[in-house]
Amino acid sequence: MSAAQEQPQGHGLRGLGSATTQLLPPFLNSAAGTVVALAGALVLAYLAHVFVIWYRLSHVPGPFWAALSKYWMVKQSLKGRQPTAIKEANDKYGSLVRIGPNELVTDDPDLLRKMMAVRSPYTRGPWYDAMRFDPARDNLLSTRDDVAHTNMRAKMAAGYSGKENESMESTIEAQIAKLIELIETKYLSTAQQYRPMDLAQKCQYFTLDVISHLAFGAPFGYLVQDDDVYDYIKMTAAVIPAMLVLANVPTLANVLQSRLFRGLLPKASDKVGFGAFIGVANKVVAERFEPNAVSRPDMLGSFIRHGLTQPEASGEALLQVIAGSDTSASTIRLVMLYLLGNPTAYRKLQAEIDKGIAAGAISSPIKDVEAREMPYLQAVIKEGLRIKPPASGAFFKTVPAGGDVIDGKFIPAGTQIGSSPFGIHHSKQVFGEDAGLFRPERWLEADADSFALMSSTVDLVFHYGKFQCLGKTVAFMEFNKIFVELLRRFDFALVNMEKPAEISNAGIWIIENFMVRVTRRQV
């Protein structure tokens, strides 16, 4: 083949390449354009979604980034300062503050009473889903259905009130006696012997034995063994904070409690920790439901007589121990801590106790009815509850259908509104300019109207209306007795003045290493 003949072939190949080259750029440009357009559409859709989330409650002020995600809430919870951060937001932005895409908080006591009133259309929000201590079942705290919650409360009210548990006061007295015996045999210091005691630990031993005795008819034995039975305290120090963080992201809580991941959570077959408590509660309850079981005059017996099923009773027994021990222990610890940091208040309370004993107005042990007549003791208890509310989560409620108007702002249905515990209980309008201080005298100095306002506000520590804590009677009976019985016998002194205890917040107060020196009083 001649060169002349080859030329057209070569030229044809070059022409094909040229044509291909001409065809590729439009093809690639088209594909790239499609990708860019799709990416742009996705970005616009995401921005529109973010805008809709932001705009829905944009008329309510609050930290800017809190309106776009729950990161602000989770961050503050992980740092152990959510109640403080929420109060700071109230101080900066006003009584009603936005702290999440669909979450608001208020420091208005009247609004909280309206939300929690018996006939209020507000219901518990998804926040409560994380309060299932046993992921397999709801309890009185986690139940969100209003009808089911009301029915459950009706079955349990008599047991908590003491109407069907006449030994409630003597049961608490028995555990106080064991605490005193423990101190006298192992932790009493003298001029010759120094025996420091972790008061935080012993307070929780006391409340755990009280509530287990009241609930099951026999204490778990923390005070007798002077030990963390089942590693309960160690485990709850990890589990409860995690639960309260998860409460800020209810979807995640529900995923973890699902059948797929439930095996990773504490379970009844565990030998120690939170799971072991589930197992103990299930076992004790099962025994009480046996055909030949005898009805007993304790809380569990009352629950059963009023119609709780075995699964319901198991869930409530677990709730009793957890909710009834940690919150009461926190208040006892904090009152003692603040008394030791305020020598004037400490001595005033001891003087009132000594005067009552000398006048024959205080029995040994003191009776609940006698303690109620001690003005300074009641002031100390109220001030302790106020200064650090024992259950300091947000407890979000859902705005009902049709929405609501709050502070002149329309709040759409489905919005979550929670409480600002420090904003409420450190209110200068209610408690005075020194509301951030532990000062029991404010209760004695107040006129009748101010006292009534302060009292009704502090009562919100136990919530209100259809959500009021059933354990309030038990808690106050513990408080009315424990401080008198300790301070009539012993003197307490802080071991570490610079850091008297380690305190963090996880919806409840985690208080550890509260070391004290205990000596016998010389009266």
CATH of the domain at 90: 1.10.630.10
d(CA 501, CA 516): 10
Return the closest-CA partner of residue 395 out of 333, 453, 475, 323. 323
What's the mean pLDDT in 485-511?
A: 95
pLDDT surpassing 50 at residue 1: no
pLDDT band at 21 (very low <50, low <70, confident <90, very high): very low
Buried-exposed string 172-192: b where 16+ CB fall within 10 A, e elsewhere: bbbbbebbbebbeeebbbeee
In a domain, 157, yes or no: yes
Q: Residue 367's CB: how many other CB atoms inside 10 A? A: 16
The secondary structure element, H or E, covering residue 71 is helix 71-78
Return the closest-CA partner of residue 418 out of 70, 7, 179. 70
Please give the annotated binding residues, written as ranges: 469
Contact 247, 253 (CB under 8 A): yes
Q: Which of 92-96, 281-285, 303-307 has the lowest mean pLDDT?
A: 281-285
Domain coverage including residue 447: 58-520
Q: Which of 1-10, 14-23, 438-447 has the lowest mean pLDDT?
A: 1-10
In a domain, 44, yes or no: no
Return the closest-CA partner of residue 115 out of 102, 126, 128, 106. 106
Q: Which of 25-29, 157-161, 329-333 has the lowest mean pLDDT?
A: 25-29
**CB within 8 Å of 141: residues ≥ 6 apart:** 128, 131, 319, 323
- C-alpha torsion 258→140→243→119, nearest 10: 110
What's the mean pLDDT in 217-221?
A: 89
Query: How many domains is the chain built from?
Result: 1
In a domain, 47, yes or no: no
What's the mean pLDDT in 232-256?
A: 84
pLDDT surpassing 70 at residue 378: yes
Contact 218, 171 (CB under 8 A): no
Contact 61, 232 (CB under 8 A): no
Contact 322, 204 (CB under 8 A): no
In a domain, 301, yes or no: yes
pLDDT in tens, 330-351: 999 999 999 999 999 999 999 9
pLDDT surpassing 80 at residue 326: yes
pLDDT in tens, 36-52: 777 877 777 766 756 67
Length of the chain: 523
Please give the annotated binding residues for heme, written as ranges: 469
pLDDT score at 257: 84
In a domain, 307, yes or no: yes
In a domain, 26, yes or no: no
pLDDT band at 29 (very low <50, low <70, confident <90, very high): low
pTM of the predicted model as reported, rounded to 2 decimal places: 0.89
pLDDT surpassing 50 at residue 400: yes
Buried-exposed string 198-223: b where 16+ CB fall within 10 A, e elsewhere: bbbbbbbbbbbbbbbbbbbbebbbbb
d(CA 96, CA 423): 11
pLDDT score at 38: 79
> What's the chain's Rg over C-alpha atoms?
30
pLDDT in tens, 259-270: 887 777 778 888
pLDDT score at 8: 40
pLDDT band at 15 (very low <50, low <70, confident <90, very high): very low
In a domain, 290, yes or no: yes
Three-state secondary-structure class, residue 264: helix
Three-state secondary-structure class, residue 104: strand
